[in-house]
Homo-oligomer: A and B are copies of this chain.
Amino acid sequence: MPDTPAWLAPHGKPWIRGESRVVYDNPWIRVTEHDAIAPTGRPALYGVVGFKNVAVAVLPLHDDGSVTLVGQHRLPHADYSWEIPEGGAPRDEDPLEAARRELAEEAGLAADDWREVMRTQLSNSITDERAVGYVALGLRAADGAHELDGTESLAIVRAPFREVLDAALAGHMPDMLTVAMLLRAYHMAREGSLPPTLARAMLG
């Protein structure tokens, strides 16, 4: 890791959260409204969407340079979405364990080589959702059958990395974790962070 640049230092005063009340709660989110004070000193009513799970995303990269994707209908955008395998890890669970579980449940795959390559905040002005992204290499069929929960109905496809990346950048796969993880894998392939034969198979 490079030295931390000096310009990363923080400036100014933090937000003060103030009095708060929970205005909505379900098994996945809790919405809390705060009587906050902005760094400028101005009062501001601030609604924060708290996430009970950490998002985990797994890019399954096969030795031949192909990628396994899952397809599902999503309610919030009322659309069909092809994505890399994703799920939620309770805050007290190791995200890697959740990633292993999601890869097996959604794609029927296990991996010998797991690489954590991304830790991000998905929408940091309104939610506290965090996401951890893994590249999974050395793929093989997982033991046992897929075990989806009762609301999941998934399709599976395997396609060449370049084709998948192009489809994502053309807007056909708008899920942000999918777009970002494909770009991260491109970066790794270009920068020598993946096995050379795999990088060549991915980049074509």
Residues of A within 8 A of B (CB): 1-2, 4-5, 7-8, 10-15, 17, 23-24, 26, 28-29, 31, 33-34, 36, 38-40, 42, 44-49, 51, 55, 69, 71-78, 80-82, 117-131, 150-153, 155, 157, 159, 163, 166-167, 169-176, 179-180, 183-184, 186-187, 190
Contacts and interface: CB of A to CB of B under 8 A. Distances in A.
Which secondary structure dominates chain A's binding surface?
A: mixed
A8 B153 CA distance: 16
B122 A166 contact: no
A33 to B, nearest CB: 7
B39 A82 contact: no
A113 to B, nearest CB: 19
A23 to B, nearest CB: 5
A72 B39 contact: yes
Contacts of A176: 120-124, 131, 176, 180
Given A11-B153, A49-B49, A183-B183, 15 more contacts: A2-B167, A8-B172, A12-B155, A13-B153, A17-B78, A24-B24, A39-B72, A55-B123, A76-B126, A81-B124, A119-B171, A123-B127, A123-B129, A124-B176, A180-B180
* Total copies of the chain: 2
28 contacts: A2-B166, A2-B170, A4-B167, A8-B173, A11-B153, A11-B155, A12-B155, A14-B73, A14-B78, A23-B31, A24-B33, A26-B47, A38-B153, A39-B72, A39-B73, A39-B152, A39-B153, A48-B76, A49-B127, A74-B125, A81-B124, A118-B169, A122-B176, A127-B127, A169-B184, A179-B180, A183-B186, A187-B187
